[in-house]
């Protein structure tokens, strides 16, 4: 697991946690020192992830909306299906990014929240190769839903279709 993947995993762990998670616990999960985790948390905060440091550990700031980073895998032919699954459940796809061994993280803001947005995106992509081709179909999306129920429904469908990597 490289640096960026570890930081994505830290976000996911904090998003799923019911209680704050200590730096020591995170360090043990990744087989690292607590100082490395503290540095990762500091960088994630600088990148805009709203992580709160409490006396019991770290947690993601409570919001009215549910935000999540998901790791998915599929080929170009499934892009429309994946995006429509999400927007049909009131989820906004903020971005797409890949973690490439040579180029590092490559990110493109999408801000897609409707089938029309999906249609326009697919039209623009018709004659070009999608980012996922650089990583054998593996890519990430930052997602925003108005509630956890919508997010869970969408993730369950992505899971059933074998798009979601967990």
Q: What pLDDT, on the 0 to 100 scale, is given for residue 26?
A: 95
Range 66-165 has CATH code 3.40.50.10490: no
In this structure, which CATH number among 3.30.43.10, 3.40.50.300, 1.10.10.10, 2.60.120.10 belongs to the domain 3-60? 1.10.10.10
Q: What pLDDT, on the 0 to 100 scale, is given for residue 43?
A: 92
- Identical fold for domains 3-60 and 66-165, yes or no, is no
Q: Which residue has the higher pLDDT, 105 or 4?
A: 105
Which tokens go with 151?
A: 């997010």
Q: How many Å apart are CA 144 and CA 36, to the nearest integer?
A: 28
Q: What pLDDT, on the 0 to 100 scale, is given for residue 62?
A: 67
Q: What pLDDT, on the 0 to 100 scale, is given for residue 64?
A: 60
**Rounded to two decimals, what is the model's pTM?**
0.64
The secondary structure of residue 21, as a DSSP letter, is B
Q: Is residue 136 scored above 70 in pLDDT?
A: yes
Q: Is residue 82 scored above 70 in pLDDT?
A: yes
Q: How many Å apart are CA 73 and CA 140, to the nearest integer?
A: 9
Instruction: Classify burial at 7, counting beta carbons within 10 Å of its beta carbon; exposed 0-12, middle 13-18, buried 19 or more.
Output: buried
The secondary structure of residue 120, as a DSSP letter, is H
pLDDT-derived band at 148 (thresholds 50, 70, 90) equals confident
Percent with pLDDT over 70 in the chain:
98
Domain ranges (residues) in the chain: 3-60, 66-165
Q: What pLDDT, on the 0 to 100 scale, is given for residue 35?
A: 95
Q: What is the pLDDT of residues 25-63, one digit of tens each?
A: 999 999 999 999 999 999 999 888 889 888 889 988 766
Q: What pLDDT, on the 0 to 100 scale, is given for residue 15?
A: 87
């Amino acid at each position: 697991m490289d640096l960026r993947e570890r930081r994505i995993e830290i976000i996911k762990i904090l998003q799923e946690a019911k209680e704050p998670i200590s730096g020591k616990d995170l360090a043990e999960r990744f087989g690292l020192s607590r100082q490395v985790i503290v540095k990762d948390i500091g960088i994630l905060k600088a990148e805009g992830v709203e992580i709160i440091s409490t006396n019991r550990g770290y947690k993601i700031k409570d919001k009215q909306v549910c935000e999540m980073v998901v790791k998915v895998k599929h080929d170009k032919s499934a892009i429309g299906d994946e995006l429509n699954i999400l927007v049909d459940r009131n989820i906004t796809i903020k971005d797409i990014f890949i973690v490439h061994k040579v180029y590092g993280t490559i990110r493109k803001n999408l801000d897609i929240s409707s089938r029309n947005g999906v249609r326009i995106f697919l039209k623009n992509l018709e004659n070009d190769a999608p980012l996922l081709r650089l990583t054998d179909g593996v890519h990430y999306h930052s997602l925003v839903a108005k509630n956890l129920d919508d997010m869970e429904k969408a993730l369950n469908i992505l899971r059933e279709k074998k798009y979601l990597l967990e």
